[in-house]
């Protein structure tokens, strides 16, 4: 796998607010658009016929000062869904890795690092607040996306793992 430069990643990300601050050597920062509370009930079954994603309830943001241009979310400990301003369009031979930004971790929250493929619009992730509270400002940079170019042999499987043939049993 080959890690793309931040400028190369930028060509695959739509909705970037300010490239001067969001583009780095090998990544692009993602910014918060909306935060939702997660409805406590989702369902996952074997075949998918009873699958039901957890619901989402928009959390209102608020201004701390009248002159503030952007509002803040005040989140208590728990799980939330974050929708980013940015979307992503990757080629068949590319995979993106979404990871939390260091400042988010140091502020007491995190989200899983995970791989994405194809078109992702909008980019979303589950946010876990581990401190008593965290305050997040609209358009805060809380995540990064890195993009890797896959070798041709891996890219042709389109994200599927190669199937291994079972070993033949020895006969006596």
Amino acid 164: pLDDT = 52
The closest of 51, 28, 57 to 120, measured between CA atoms, is 28
Q: Is the pLDDT of residue 161 over 60?
A: no
Residues 113-133, mean pLDDT to the nearest whole number: 97
Amino acid 170: pLDDT = 57
Asked if residue 28 lies in contact with residue 145, where contact means CB atoms within 8 angstroms, the answer is yes
Phi-psi region of 10 (alpha: psi -120 to 50; beta: other; left: phi over 0): alpha
Amino acid 68: pLDDT = 86
Q: Which tens digits make up the pLDDT trace of 61-92?
A: 999 888 889 999 999 999 999 999 999 999 99
Q: Is the pLDDT of residue 163 over 80?
A: no
Percentage of residues of the chain with pLDDT beyond 70: 89
Q: Report the alpha-carbon distance of residue 85 to residue 146 in Å, rounded.
A: 16
Its pTM stands at: 0.85
Phi-psi region of 12 (alpha: psi -120 to 50; beta: other; left: phi over 0): alpha
Which DSSP string do the residues of the chain spell out, in sequence order?
A: -EEPPHHHHHTTEE--S-HHHHB-SS-EEEEEEEEEEEPS--B--SSSTT-B---EEEPPPB-SSTT-SS-EEEEEEEEEEEEES-EEE--TTEEEEEEE-HHHHHTTEE---EEE-SEESS-EEEEEEEEEEEEEETT-EEEEEEEEEPPHHHHTTTTPPPPPPPPPPP--
Q: Which tens digits make up the pLDDT trace of 12-49?
A: 999 999 999 999 999 999 999 999 999 878 999 999 99
Q: Is the pLDDT of residue 162 over 60?
A: no
Domain 2-155 class, CATH top level: mainly beta
Terminal CA-to-CA distance of the chain, rounded, Å? 44
Amino acid 39: pLDDT = 86
Amino acid 153: pLDDT = 73
């Amino acid at each position: 796998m080959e890690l793309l430069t931040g400028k190369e990643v930028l060509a695959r990300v739509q909705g970037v607010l300010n490239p001067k601050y969001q583009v780095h050597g090998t990544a692009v920062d993602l910014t918060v658009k909306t935060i939702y509370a997660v409805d406590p009930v989702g369902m996952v079954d074997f075949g998918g016929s009873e699958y039901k994603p957890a619901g989402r309830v928009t959390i209102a943001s608020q201004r701390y000062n009248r002159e503030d241009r952007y509002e803040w979310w005040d989140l208590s400990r728990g799980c939330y869904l974050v929708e980013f301003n940015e979307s992503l369009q990757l080629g068949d031979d590319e995979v993106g890795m979404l990871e939390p930004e260091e400042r988010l971790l140091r502020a007491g929250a995190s989200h899983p690092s995970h791989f994405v493929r194809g078109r992702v619009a909008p980019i979303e992730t589950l946010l876990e607040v581990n401190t008593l509270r965290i305050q997040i400002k609209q358009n805060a940079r809380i995540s990064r996306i890195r993009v890797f170019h896959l070798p041709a042999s891996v890219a042709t499987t389109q994200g599927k793992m190669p199937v291994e043939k079972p070993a033949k049993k020895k006969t006596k």
